[in-house]
C-alpha cells in the first residue's frame, strides 16, 4: 500500500490557504448502489487541508447531501483521517461516508484494504475487485451499545404508528439510531411521519424496518440532523443486524440484505452481519457497492478574498 501522504496533492501554499484558484478537488459517489443515480450520494473532498471546520460545515450545508466527507492526513497510523458532516452538524462516524470514502482512497492507492480514522476510531474496509474495478466493500464498524429509548411512545406517535413489533431501542453508533419494527413492508412504505415532531428528538435517527421475504425493508428519518429521509444508512445497518439477532429474528453470523430508499427514488442495497453472541459481540460488519459518478473542483475562496487576506 502506498504511504498515506501520497493521497494528498501538493496543493497548499505554505500559509495553509487553498491554492489553485481557491478550489479543492472532490468526487461524488453513489454509495450502496452499483448503478449511477441510485444509493446514497456522497461528496468526498480529496484534500481537506487548509479548510476550517466552519468552511467544511458551510460546504456540507450548501451541497445538502446526507453527508459530505473531507480527507485529511492520518494522525494515528491509518491510511487517512475522514471528517464527516451532515448539512447541519459533524458526526464522529457514519456508514455510507466511510464506505464511499474507502472506494475513493482505495482507487487512488490501488489498495485492497484501507484503514480510515474517524471520531469513533479506525475503521477497516476490505474491498473486492472485478478485474481492475472496485465493486464491493465490507467495513468493520464499532460495536454499538443498545439501550431502551425512554421516549418511545412519543416517537411512535410522531411516526403515526401504534406499536413496534420489537422493543424500541437506541443504538449508539455515531448517530444515535432508534429502531422500530413494523408488521409489513406495506406499513413501512405507508409511513408519513410528522417531521417537526421527530425533529424534537434531538440527535436521533429513526430507522423503521420490516421483513420482506428474503430481505429487510427500511426507511430512516433524521430531521434533527438535517436529513428528513436518508436513501441508505450504513451506520444503522449494523445495529439492525444486531437488533434482529438479539431478539431472535435471525441467527448470529447470518448475513442480511437491506433495501432502502425506494420511496425517495434512490433504491439502495446494504448487507450486514454480526458474529458472536448476545453476551459477547465479536464484530459488526456492513457491506455494499459504490460507484463514482462525478469529479470536479469546488471553489472555496475567491481570488479577491485571498488578495485581501
Residue 265 has pLDDT above 80, yes or no: yes
Q: What is the DSSP letter of 143?
A: P
Q: In sequence order, which residues have a C-beta less than 8 Å from that of residue 103 and are 6 or more positions away?
A: 29, 31, 127, 134, 137, 290, 292
Q: 132 and 170: one domain? A: no
CATH, residue 35: 3.10.310.10
Q: 189 and 117: one domain? A: no
Q: 61 and 82: one domain? A: yes
DSSP letters for 147-175: EE-TTHHHHHHHHT-S--SS--EEEESSS
For residue range 7-17, what is the model confidence (pLDDT) as tens digits? 775 544 444 44
Average pLDDT, the chain: 92
Question: What are the catalytic residues?
Answer: 67
pTM value?
0.91
CA distance 195 to 297: 34
CA distance 167 to 247: 9
Rounded to an integer, the average pLDDT of 300-304 is 68
Q: 184 and 272: one domain? A: yes
For residue range 12-33, what is the model confidence (pLDDT) as tens digits? 444 444 655 688 999 999 999 9
The pLDDT of residue 9: 58
Q: 150 and 275: one domain? A: yes
CA distance 91 to 157: 27
For residue range 233-258, what is the model confidence (pLDDT) as tens digits? 999 999 999 999 999 999 999 999 99
The pLDDT of residue 182: 98
Q: For residues 275 and 2, is the Cβ–Cβ distance under 8 A?
A: no
Residue 97 has pLDDT above 80, yes or no: yes
Amino acid at each position: 500500500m502506498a504511504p498515506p501522504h501520497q493521497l494528498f496533492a501538493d496543493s497548499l501554499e505554505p500559509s495553509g490557504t487553498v491554492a489553485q484558484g481557491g478550489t479543492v478537488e472532490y468526487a461524488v459517489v453513489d454509495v450502496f448502489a452499483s448503478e449511477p443515480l441510485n444509493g446514497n450520494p456522497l461528496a468526498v473532498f480529496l484534500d481537506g487541508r487548509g479548510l476550517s471546520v466552519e468552511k467544511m460545515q458551510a460546504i456540507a450545508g450548501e451541497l445538502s447531501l446526507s453527508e459530505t466527507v473531507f480527507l485529511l492526513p492520518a494522525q494515528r497510523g491509518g491510511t487517512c483521517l475522514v471528517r464527516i458532516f451532515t448539512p447541519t452538524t459533524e458526526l464522529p462516524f457514519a456508514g455510507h461516508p466511510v464506505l464511499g470514502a474507502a472506494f475513493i482512497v482505495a482507487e487512488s492507492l490501488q489498495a485492497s484494504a484501507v484503514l480510515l480514522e474517524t471520531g469513533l476510531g479506525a475503521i477497516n474496509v476490505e474491498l473486492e475487485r472485478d478485474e481492475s474495478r472496485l465493486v464491493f466493500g465490507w467495513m468493520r464498524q464499532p460495536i454499538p451499545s443498545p439501550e431502551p429509548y425512554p421516549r418511545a411512545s412519543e416517537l411512535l406517535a410522531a411516526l403515526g404508528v401504534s406499536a413496534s413489533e420489537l422493543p424500541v431501542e437506541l443504538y449508539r453508533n455515531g448517530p444515535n439510531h432508534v429502531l422500530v419494527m413494523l408488521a409489513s413492508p406495506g406499513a413501512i412504505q405507508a409511513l408519513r411521519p410528522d417531521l417537526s415532531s421527530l425533529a424534537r428528538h434531538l440527535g436521533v435517527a429513526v430507522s423503521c424496518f420490516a421483513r420482506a421475504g428474503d430481505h429487510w425493508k427500511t426507511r430512516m428519518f433524521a430531521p434533527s440532523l438535517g436529513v428528513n429521509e436518508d436513501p441508505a444508512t450504513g451506520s444503522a445497518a449494523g445495529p439492525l443486524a444486531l437488533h434482529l439477532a438479539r431478539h431472535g429474528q435471525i441467527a448470529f453470523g447470518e448475513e442480511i440484505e437491506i433495501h432502502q430508499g425506494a420511496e425517495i427514488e434512490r433504491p439502495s442495497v446494504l448487507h450486514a452481519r454480526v458474529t458472536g453472541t448476545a453476551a459477547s459481540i465479536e464484530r459488526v460488519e456492513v457491506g455494499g457497492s459504490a460507484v463514482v459518478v462525478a469529479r470536479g473542483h469546488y471553489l472555496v475562496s475567491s481570488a479577491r478574498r485571498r488578495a485581501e487576506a
